[in-house]
Amino acid sequence: MEAISILAQATDPADLKNISAAAGAGYAYGLAAIGPGIGIGYLVGKSVEAMARQPEAAGMVRTTMFLGIAFTEALALIGFVVFILLKFA
Amino acid sequence: MNLVYALEFPEISEVLVWPDVVPGFNKIFIITFLAVLVTVLIFALAMRKDPMVAPTGVRNVAEASVDFIEDGIVMQTMGRDALGWTPFLLSLFFFVLFTNITGIIPTFQMPANARMAGPLILALIVWVVYIAAGIKHQGLGGYLKSSLFPPGVPKALYLLVTPIEFISTFFVRPFSLAVRLFANMLAGHILLVTFAVLTDALITADTAALIPVAILPFFMLVFLTAFEVLVCFLQAYIFTILAAVYIGGSIHPEH
């Protein structure tokens, strides 16, 4: 409730801009992290399964796993860049 | 109330600074230069030793890293006939590693790759190299055909697949390569700053009861510094392996 009353008091346009930028930055990163979080969890889980089933192929699975992580993670990182741009730019 | 003000996060211009160390040569320049110098030094020292003696010291590091690049990256992604690419990938790996690791070395405390200029240039170098390798190995027409018209797709789908492949091969690849390295290093840097600021704010707090609590963010800071070592290695590895995958893709097209 207090936060809402503070928000209501902030009528200065510069303050409003800062508040909405901070809130938008928070949502941008939070939302961007959901998909890659699920993706990386699924990817690593499946890789561990594969490595446990076939330990002799562990090296190959690990290389491919890191590649997959790199591609999945890129989305979260773009979200992070958006966060930085909204918050500080 | 004071505590809340003390926790105010510093401006980005305070977190990321590259002052001129010598007029005209800023911090990033010095770090980049040192990264090159250290890499050259390691391999120059390793080269001078007698090759018949079991490796020790710096030579061990050099041999282990060459093995790592050959077995872990080139053989896994490009195949035996591409072993000639090892020097390029090795220098890429060491350059990215050393420009990352300065983020946790005291007195530097700034990963050179947290400035977009570094990752961008590296990504553009990789971009030029994999396109040039593709054109060299398959010719311009052959390279465009194999990268824009992947085999095994029904003819009508090319209307959809070709523009997507074009954008992803020639624009998204260098962009994501640069942004991945940049954002990872920047995120690590900001994380370290956050906990350092928190520790500082608690140590200098007005309320005496809050001062012992500073140990918690301090331990987190130590832990995150160790975690950053891992991230530095991992990002250098990922950058190199992606470069290898892209180059491998353009010298060995799918059939």
Instruction: Write the ipTM.
Output: 0.77
Chain centre distance of CA B21: 24
- Domain total for chain A? 1
What pLDDT was estimated at residue B2? Answer: 47
- Domain total for chain B? 1
What percent of chain B shows pLDDT beyond 70?
95
Nearest-angstrom CA–CA distance, A85 and A12: 22
With CB atoms and an 8 Å threshold, state whether B238 touches A66: yes
Residue of B241, B246, B247 to mutate, interface with A, max A Cβ within 10 Å: B241
- Please spell the DSSP secondary structure of B216-238, one letter per residue: HHHHHHHHHHHHHHHHHHHHHHH
Interface of chain A toward chain B, CB-CB under 8 angstroms:
59-60, 63, 66-67, 69-71, 73-74, 77-78, 80-81, 84, 87-88
| Domain boundaries, position A18 | 2-88
Q: Would the pLDDT of B53 be above 50?
A: yes
Distance from the Cα of A5 to chain B's closest Cα (Å) equals 17
What pLDDT was estimated at residue A2? Answer: 55
Average pLDDT, integer, range B133-145: 92
Least confident span in B55-59, B106-110, B187-191: B55-59
Six-digit token string for B134: 């593709």
For residue A63, which residues of chain B lie inside 8 Å, CB to CB? 72-73, 76-77, 241
Q: Would the pLDDT of A3 be above 70?
A: no
CA B108 to each of CA B90, B233, B245, B255: distance values in angstroms, whole numbers, following the listed order: 24, 18, 32, 48
What pLDDT was estimated at residue B1? Answer: 39
With CB atoms and an 8 Å threshold, state whether A63 touches B182: no
pLDDT in tens, B220-255: 999 999 999 999 999 999 999 999 999 998 998 765
Strands of chain B, DSSP E: 20-22, 25-26
Q: Which residue has the tokens 């690419």?
A: B85
| A65, amino acid identity | M
Sequence-separated (6 or more) residues with CB below 8 Å from residue B122: B92, B95, B96, B177, B178, B181, B239
For residue B15, which residues of chain A lie inside 8 Å, CB to CB? none
Long-range pairs, B16-24, Cβ under 8 A, ≥24: B16/B110, B16/B114, B16/B115, B16/B186, B16/B189, B17/B110, B18/B110, B18/B115
| Domain boundaries, position B148 | 2-251
- Please spell the DSSP secondary structure of chain A, one letter per residue: -HHHHHHHH--SHHHHHHHHHHHHHHHHHHHHHHHHHHHHHHHHHHHHHHHHH-GGGHHHHHHHHHHHHHHHHHHHHHHHHHHHHHHH-
What percent of chain B shows pLDDT beyond 90?
55
Residue A71: CB atoms within 10 A of its CB come to 16
Residue of A nearest to B114 (CA): A81
CATH number of domain containing A73: 1.20.20.10
Compute φ and ψ for B246, nearest 5 degrees: -65, -45
CA B145 to each of CA A24, B165, B227, B247: distance values in angstroms, whole numbers, following the listed order: 43, 11, 43, 16
Residue B221: CB atoms within 10 A of its CB come to 18
pLDDT in tens, B71-120: 989 988 888 888 999 999 999 999 999 999 999 998 888 899 999 999 99
Residue of B180, B182, B231, B247 to mutate, interface with A, max A Cβ within 10 Å: B180
Residue B17 — very low, low, confident or very high, per pLDDT cuts 50/70/90?
Answer: confident
